[in-house]
Amino acid sequence: MLIDLEGLAREIQREPWARIPVEKDFWSILMKWIDEHVLSEFLDRLITQINKIVDIDADLSEPQILEGATQYMVEFLGARSASVRIYDPQTEQMLSYCSYPSAEDDREVFIPLDGSIAGEVVKTRKPYLAPDLSREDLYRNKDVIHAKQVHSLMAIPLEIPRFFPRERDTIGVIQIYFAEKGREFRPLEVQTANTMAKRLSFVIARKKILSMHRMAEKREAIVHHIFRKVGSRGGIKLAEVFNQVVPELVDIVDLQSCTLFSVAEGLGHVILEAGFPSFGGYHTVGKVIPVSDEPVFELLLQLREYSGDSLYEVVTPLYILVVDPQRSGLISENLKRFAAFHHIHSILYIPLGYNGETTHFMTFDALDQRQRYRDDEIDIFLFLGRELLKAQKMERLDDALHDFKNPAIATAGFARRLKEILDKGEWERSKRQVQKYLDILLAETSRLQELAMSIYKVGEEQEVNLTDVVKRRLEINREAIKELLKPNVNLTEGPYEPDIRVKCHLVHLERVLDNLLNNATKAIPLKGGELAVRTYADGEWACAEIMNTGEISEEDRNKILEGEGEGRGMYITYRIIRLLKGRIEIRADGGTTTFVVSFPLRRP
């Protein structure tokens, strides 16, 4: 028996209203009837409702879980509606998290901790009863009373203990609204609601265990994608890896798009390194954006103090969450238009780097308006970012190893010629030739050094003469042709535009020309053919043209123009040309192939 029925009968008999004459066995018969019909039925209904809460599908989102639980509470207590607010220590506000029936659009997103019923419950961790909302000082939004025909309120504390050492306890309140005015809340009702609220912790705990398992699976999937690319013949390509691993996160955040930016030395601008999706015009890989154009970039790079409105963004050392891009002062007008056009309702920024220095950051554009992200979600985003930085470093290493070939061949060839001159005792007689070879050796060994350093950085941009660079790279390619024993290649130079200047990283321009010259040389048939190079100005463009005997197929031509060329060299070339804001044109005509690369012309 759950309670002492005889003791209960004696307690009832002490009440004034119970002092009436009854037959001898009345009280024992009444207690037995209460035990068999009232208590058992009540407990059966209560247990059924609690089991419904405990059995809520842990695959649902936290707002959906809480909405389902409040539905069961509303139905059991005969209430009209319910809502859940969660305390956010970042903003010291009570966030609107969910409601039943769902009515997110017409409820205040934030209410203050102080001076509110929800705040009072969070601070005291005790239920709060408001029999008449029209007279309740802590209930300020009186319009709700008439709009929703609710006149009384029971507010129950919601506590979800932390599951990971680094995370915080979740503190909130479940507000249950009733139609009656001047409602008398019975202690049994309050205890019942309190019990239901506590059972929610089991559902959230089960969700977190499931989340841990899925996060582990996602880590494995991310690493698998990257290392599968590492082992492939073509080597690792960041753009391909990015578009394979980002979809793994779709069930965490309803992604519209995702980007990876690198931060230039001096923190003056950022470069878009990869974007998802790679189609639809969302992203221009290689695009350079001044940091001063976006206030959120300055905040990420610690170039400004945060002084915004915490209603619309959450700023932490690990991330910045823009809850409402249209109202946030951290978002430029240009980005606001982009967000509105693509239905982006919240943006998460994750800074990445080494030893406290931000070298990269990622953005996650969500279709839903996220009020917050869980710690385990932030952890998987950070893990993804770090793995992508490793992938980028491996990509740069692959690129550098590929581009080592031409200067390495040239260095070996010219060193061999110097040794022959020395062995023959012709040092004095060949001073001019020796000087030329030494100049080339110095230039090419310096270039090898630059290629090695480019794995980490590429130095400052400078203004260079495109024609001079083309001539130097052709001279090196001439030596490579000899070393590769490529017979019957007829080199034709010019005409050259004497002074056409472009602004770029010199190592980038050299790599583009080396790869194009190397590919053109390889494409010449074994029986021989022509390799012709010229430069010219075309309006606002500085152009270098490389023509070789041998025709390219239309399929290969389209692949290269779309950045899908199979060879590593063309992949590097395409990426760098986009980074330099250049363009590439390919013509196949009469048994020859002509590549034209154009870069913005720098006028004096």
Q: What is the pLDDT of residues 201-231, one digit of tens each?
A: 778 777 777 776 676 777 676 666 565 555 4
Q: Mean pLDDT for the chain? A: 79
Mean pLDDT, residues 32-43: 68
pLDDT of residue 508: 82
Listed residue (380, 388, 379, 335) closest to 360, CA to CA: 388
Listed residue (403, 401, 513, 430) closest to 468, CA to CA: 513
**Higher pLDDT, residue 471 or 459:** 471
Least confident of 75-89, 196-210, 315-329, 576-590: 196-210
> Are β-strands 255-263 and 583-589 bridged in parallel, bridged antiparallel, or unpaired?
unpaired
Looking at CATH, the fold of the domain delimited by 220-400 is given as Beta-Lactamase (3.30.450)
Q: Which residues lie across from 85 on neighbouring strands?
A: 96, 173
Residue 106 has pLDDT above 70, yes or no: no
Q: How far is CA 528 from CA 173, 490, 545, 548, 550, in A?
A: 81, 8, 20, 10, 10
**Higher pLDDT, residue 574 or 334:** 334
Residue 153 has pLDDT above 80, yes or no: yes
pLDDT of residue 561: 76
Q: Tokens in use for 233?
A: 């013949």
Q: Tokens in use for 349?
A: 């920024």
In contact, 440 and 476? CB cutoff 8 Å:
yes
> Are β-strands 170-178 and 255-263 bridged in parallel, bridged antiparallel, or unpaired?
unpaired
Of the candidate CATH numbers 3.10.180.10, 3.30.565.10, 3.40.1710.10, 2.40.128.20, the domain formed by 460-600 belongs to: 3.30.565.10
pLDDT of residue 42: 72
The beta strands (E) that lie in 232-287 are given as 255-263, 269-276
pLDDT grade for 566, boundaries at 50, 70 and 90: low
Mean pLDDT, residues 55-82: 86
Most confident of 203-217, 377-391, 417-431, 462-476: 462-476
In contact, 367 and 242? CB cutoff 8 Å:
no
pLDDT grade for 541, boundaries at 50, 70 and 90: very high
pLDDT grade for 2, boundaries at 50, 70 and 90: very low
Least confident of 135-144, 247-256, 306-315, 526-535: 247-256
The count of C-alpha atoms lying within 13 angstroms of the C-alpha of 320, restricted to the half-sphere facing its C-beta, is: 27
Residue 570 has pLDDT above 80, yes or no: no
Residue 176 has pLDDT above 50, yes or no: yes
Q: Exposed (0-12), middle (13-18) or buried (19+): which is 67, by Cβ within 10 Å?
A: buried
Which residues, 6 or more positions from 538, have their beta carbon under 8 angstroms from its beta carbon?
598
pLDDT of residue 234: 55
> Are β-strands 592-600 and 541-549 bridged in parallel, bridged antiparallel, or unpaired?
antiparallel
Mean pLDDT, residues 312-340: 89
pLDDT grade for 546, boundaries at 50, 70 and 90: very high
Domain boundaries, the chain: 1-43, 44-209, 220-400, 460-600
Rounded distance, CA 545 to CA 549, Å? 14
**Higher pLDDT, residue 235 or 265:** 265
Residue 18 has pLDDT above 50, yes or no: yes
In contact, 86 and 174? CB cutoff 8 Å:
no
Mean pLDDT, residues 182-189: 87
pLDDT grade for 390, boundaries at 50, 70 and 90: confident
Q: Tokens in use for 338?
A: 């982009």
CA 462, chain centre distance (Å)? 33
**Higher pLDDT, residue 131 or 246:** 131
Q: Tokens in use for 7?
A: 């003791």
Task: Quickly list DSSP for 495-537.
Answer: ---S--EEEE-HHHHHHHHHHHHHHHHHHS-TT-EEEEEEEEE
pLDDT of residue 277: 80
Task: Tell me whether the CATH fold assigned to 220-400 matches the one assigned to 460-600.
Answer: no
Of the candidate CATH numbers 3.30.450.40, 3.90.1150.140, 3.90.1150.10, 3.20.20.140, the domain formed by 44-209 belongs to: 3.30.450.40
